[in-house]
Every structure is written in C-alpha cells, then in structure tokens.
Amino acid sequence: MIVVHTVAELRQRCREWRRAGETVAFVPTMGNLHAGHIELVRQGRQRARRVVASVFVNPLQFGPNEDYGRYPRSLPADTEKLSAAGCDLLFAPSVAEVYPQGVGHTTVRVNGVTEMLEGEFRPGHFEGVATVVNILFNLVQPDLALFGQKDYQQLAVIRQMVADLCLPIEVVGVPTLRDADGLALSSRNQYLNAEERGRAATVHRVLQAMAEGLRQGRRDYLALQSEAAGSLQRAGFRPQYVAIRRPDLQPPAETDAAWVLLVAAYLGQTRLIDNLSLS
C-alpha cells in the first residue's frame, strides 16, 4: 500500500490510475479504524480496481465543546489495518494540506436535511462534513465512495450534496457492523468504561422495541418515541433525540410503510448514535 501525505502525491497517483482506465473506490475516514471501516474497504475492493482511503481528523466538523483534541489518533495501526484489507493508497494529510487557506475559509452547506436531528444538537457539524468530503472528492475524483449506514443522516447529506453539485460519484451505503450484543461499532466506543460498555447495547434494544411496535401496527409515533426515551433514561442514558422518520428523514404519516428509527444519547461522557431501518 502506498502512503502519501500531500495533495500533489495523491493527485499524481490517482491521475495515473484514471489514465490507465482503472476505476477508483474511496473510503474517507477520521482514523482510529475498526472492523466497520475495514468492511468499507473490502466492499470497495469488490467494486473497483483501486481503493483509496483517507485518514484525516477534520477540525471543521467538531463544535467548540466537542472532542477534537482528544479524538483518538492511531495512524500506524490504521495503516497496518488498511494494508491488510487490500487498500491501494492511504492519504493522511495535515490540516494545512487540506485547508491551505485556513479552516472554514470556504465551506459547503447542504440545506434542509442538515437542520434536523444531529443538526439541531451539533450546529455546523454537517457543514464541516460536507466541506471536507467535497474537498476529498475533488482531490481523489473517485468513481464511487463508501460510507457506513450507522451515520444515517451524514449519508443522506452526502448523497444530497453529490446530487445537487452534479458530482459524477456513486455513493454507496454499507450496513452497520455490530458487536455480538448489538452495539454499533464506533471509534467512540473506546471512551466507554467497563460498566458503561455493559449497558451500551441498550440503544440497539430500544430501537428494536420501537421497530416491533411498528410491525405490530402501532402508528402513535410520539408515544413510541416517548417510551423509547424513557427506556434509555431508566438505563442511565441522557437522550438527545429519539425519532421515527421516513427514509428521507421527513416526519412520518400514518399510511407510511417504511421508516428509519434514530437515536442519539449520552452514556456518561460518551455520545452514542444508532439507527434502524425497516419496512
């Protein structure tokens, strides 16, 4: 696997592959990789001749009280995992390399889908995500890009940005990988202490309980959300939102037959998010 740290090196290698007619899959990450990230690489390997991954902790998507400073950096271990998974090139730039004019000098805002749910509690977050992903897309110019479905709203934002800006990139959502107890894999899970880790899978069980209610014909969405929030609170969580939405993240109607259930909640100092789609 080739490891590059500059835009010039990245562009040169990707240009060579495109001239040779080779398709390129792209997996953008913030590092501290787990099996979910590696599955994205494996899926990319199946769909394209070349796979490019990036490891970049993007300061623009962290709020003033969030964990940018303590976000885990593990580039040596990440490099080994990507190489073992068959990644062809790792782009691991500095902040100055990605934002040569300064962080936030020019930004990308996706209206509508960014204001709700995560956007309500993390103002500016999706602007940071859309900006850095757009920069990376322009640098790599991939044929397809892969993202985990655990960050359901983020995936929706990226799809909307690609459509609105007419980017010639296929955006592929990859199903969430989970531990044996149902906890969605996440880089932030390592912040949980042993006692918290034992309770963390409650989030997935609460989503499953809401889903079962819908399967049984319940359409009292507000009551289902309130019951789920109560279950989380009794288990020691501090829920920020519990939401039942249409797959496009709009509020549901009684006649709907497909939904996405979304949760964000703090357990101790760790913020966990998860979702479940059903029809």
Catalytic residues: 37
Beta bridge partners of 238: 266
Does 58 carry a binding-site annotation? Answer: no
Does 148 carry a binding-site annotation? Answer: yes
Does 231 carry a binding-site annotation? Answer: no
- What is the residue type of 17? W
Does 31 carry a binding-site annotation? Answer: yes
CA distance linking residue 279 with residue 277, whole number of Å: 7
CA distance linking residue 165 with residue 199, whole number of Å: 42
Residue 146 DSSP class: E
Does 246 carry a binding-site annotation? Answer: no
Does 188 carry a binding-site annotation? Answer: yes
Sign of the torsion angle spanned by Cα atoms 204, 210, 211, 212: positive
160, 25 Cβ separation under 8 angstroms: no
CA distance linking residue 278 with residue 22, whole number of Å: 36
Does 185 carry a binding-site annotation? Answer: yes
Does 37 carry a binding-site annotation? Answer: yes
Does 30 carry a binding-site annotation? Answer: yes
List the one residue out of 156, 168, 64 whose CA is nearest residue 110.
Answer: 156
Return the residue matching tokens 């500016």: 124
CA distance linking residue 237 with residue 274, whole number of Å: 14
Does 198 carry a binding-site annotation? Answer: no
Does 61 carry a binding-site annotation? Answer: yes
User: Two tokens at 162?
Assistant: 């690609």
Does 146 carry a binding-site annotation? Answer: no
User: Two tokens at 190?
Assistant: 């390592």
Does 187 carry a binding-site annotation? Answer: yes
Does 150 carry a binding-site annotation? Answer: yes
CA distance linking residue 52 with residue 60, whole number of Å: 22
Close Cβ partners of 1 (under 8 Å, ≥ 6 residues apart): 79, 82, 83, 87, 88, 89, 90
Count CB neighbours of 171 within 10 A. 19
Residue numbers in the known binding site are 30-37, 61, 148-151, 154, 177, 185-188
Specify binding-site residues for beta-alanine.
61
Binding site for ATP, residues?
30-37, 148-151, 177, 185-188
- Annotated binding-site ranges for (R)-pantoate: 61, 154
